[in-house]
Amino acid sequence: MRSAVVVGAGVGGLAAAGALARSGWHVTLLERAERLPADSAALLLWPNGVRALRALGLADGLDAISWPVAYGGIRRPGGQWLVQPGAAGGAGPWVVHREDLHDTLVAGLGDRIDIRTGVAVSAVHVDPDERPAVSDGRTTWQADLVVAADGVDSVIRARLAPATRVVSSGCAAWRAVIPWYRAPKLPADLHTPGGETLGDGYRFRYALLGERGSAGASTRGGIYWTATAVGAPRPEPAATQLALLARWFGEWHRPIGDLLAATEPDDLVQHAVRELRPPPASYAFPAGPGGVVLLGDAAHAMPHHLAQGACLAFEDAATLRSLTREAVPGAALRAALDAYTRHRRPRAVRLLRLSHRVGAVLQARRLPGRARVASLGLLSPLVLNRAVVAAVQWHPPTRTGRAGRP
């Protein structure tokens, strides 16, 4: 039986492990934490991510845990419209609580996967004549295929692509879900129950996780919000960070101040926004009858401006499953892994460039006053809409490995 080791149990690692197991692989899943992790915030699933989940056979029940995000336009902090509601057109994202999505992915693992927690992989072994292997210094796991889904600080990528470094993207981000019992009632004059606001170096976005008091949609309903600010992550306790966010965003148009006031420190999740520079030249590294592949943030961590991190990880997993479905160890599997790089790297590099262009809108505060307003007014609809269109126009490869639209 073909064997695989998946390192990392984030959303990409869980998706890949389950997909390979359902395709007949014997899979071992290694996770650094003592239990399979999930944070308390939410994430956006764009149409390309939903297609990837369907291709992976993981979309059953997605309607029960996700909620469509109506396009609420883009505003300035004072409430002036940069892009009117509905102006973007096309299909928007769905919002899903990370814990609900995590439960779905764990259920998709089935009972044929060997799960090992508390394993901190510290080495990878790649040799032309031997199967690839990883080790935590005490135990070594060898397989035909190793999937490195160990995140932006991937130990495996650092060993195989040493020229790639993790660097700051120049901003920090915060996420929170306010449960319904604490969520403020949204103003009646809102055009849509969600939206985005751009300031000078700041960005705020919010969306509903279901309807207040409903048993449908997410089982962990509420209001999800994200905030981005140019600068370094804050080292202070969560309560101090929340007070700082209230100072930065509290005077912005409603309901932003209301949402921050209803947020408690335990709701808050901060993360540094980092990226890989330069991107790895390859996502696949041959060894013996197979090799090692990079997946998710281990392959293409990028600024979060397009909200595509999880979607790209699901695309990776769907592509890997399609290309390796019938590949036996040896020349066929090595060819499939080479094809994985050809499918995935050009798309990731393109979205990285687009994400940088969107990030430049946040840097508009460096311009003089009138130029700043003009930059936001013109760049926002053009750059954001173009980037979103490019991001969502992905379709899973066919069973022959033929690419869908980029």
Find the CATH number of the domain harbouring 346: 3.50.50.60
Instruction: Check residue 215 and give its pLDDT.
Output: 42
Domain count, the chain: 1
User: What average pLDDT does range 222-244 have in this prediction?
Assistant: 94
Domain annotation covers residue 405: no
Domain annotation covers residue 80: no
For the stretch 19-38, pLDDT in tens is 999 999 999 999 999 998 77
- Record the pTM: 0.92
Domain annotation covers residue 65: yes
Which amino acid belongs to residue 20?
Answer: L
For the stretch 96-129, pLDDT in tens is 999 999 999 999 898 889 999 999 999 999 999 9
Residues of the chain with pLDDT > 90, as a percent, come to: 63
For the stretch 319-358, pLDDT in tens is 999 999 999 999 999 999 999 999 999 999 999 998 988 8
Nearest-5° Cα angle at 74, 73 to 77: 135
Which residues have CB under 8 Å from 331's CB, separation 6+?
none
Domain annotation covers residue 374: no
Domain annotation covers residue 382: no
Residues of the chain with pLDDT > 70, as a percent, come to: 86
Domain annotation covers residue 143: yes
Domain of residue 123 covers 3-71+95-165+274-366
Which of 177-181, 187-191, 358-362 is predicted most confidently? 177-181
3-class SS of residue 253: coil
For the stretch 242-280, pLDDT in tens is 999 999 999 999 999 999 999 999 999 998 899 999 999
**Cα(343)–Cα(336) distance, rounded to whole angstroms?**
10
Lowest-confidence segment of 40-54, 159-173, 285-299 by average pLDDT: 40-54
**Cα(285)–Cα(290) distance, rounded to whole angstroms?**
9
User: What average pLDDT does range 138-144 have in this prediction?
Assistant: 98
